[in-house]
Chains A and B, each alone.
Chain A
Amino acid sequence: DAKTTQPPSMDCAEGRAANLPCNHSTISGNEYVYWYRQIHSQGPQYIIHGLKNNETNEMASLIITEDRKSSTLILPHATLRDTAVYYCIVRFRVVAAGNKLTFGGGTRVLVKP
């Protein structure tokens, strides 16, 4: 799986958009970008994923650059409950035994009132 680079931490004001960058310059054509988050040592939680098109769901939006070497997770209106460690993970989405996620250090996001 390709390696990702994320800033170790960032602060965000409550109610404002939080933009979380991720670099994945070695991503291959069949690899997807996944985002998970971990709130205070709870189990990681899936947020969103994408291949090359921008994606949006009820939790967040994912913007992937045209060359696919970087992406940005957008939390449109951050709340205090969004304080968490956010992980950007690149992996193949194949139907195969295994299909594990490999977690890096992530970005520790602190949403402030």
Chain B
Amino acid sequence: QKEVEQNSGPLSVPEGAIASLNCTYSDRGSQSFFWYRQYSGKSPELIMSIYSNGDKEDGRFTAQLNKASQYVSLLIRDSQPSDSATYLCAVRRTSYDKVIFGPGTSLSVIP
């Protein structure tokens, strides 16, 4: 079982819709969770981090964490074509452990 799993996609949503990206992880002791966005041909950049169960909102982005189910998701409201990218889920066990990346989900927002 891979440590961090994501659907590879591509996930296609129409402009203005909600895009839902999912991630599961295998280490129940994981404490910190991150979402990176990577545009085609570019490097990853951090867009959200979440540490506690529940929702965390930042503009059009909402990260949701359920540690009991070992599941973290990213919702993008009012999706825009500029949101088209690959989204990488990353997980860290403790503050001094390295970050483990998932394979990423490709999102395409159709105008």
Mutual binders A and B: no
Chain B residues proximal to chain A, CB less than 8 Å = none
A residues at B contact (CB < 8 Å): none
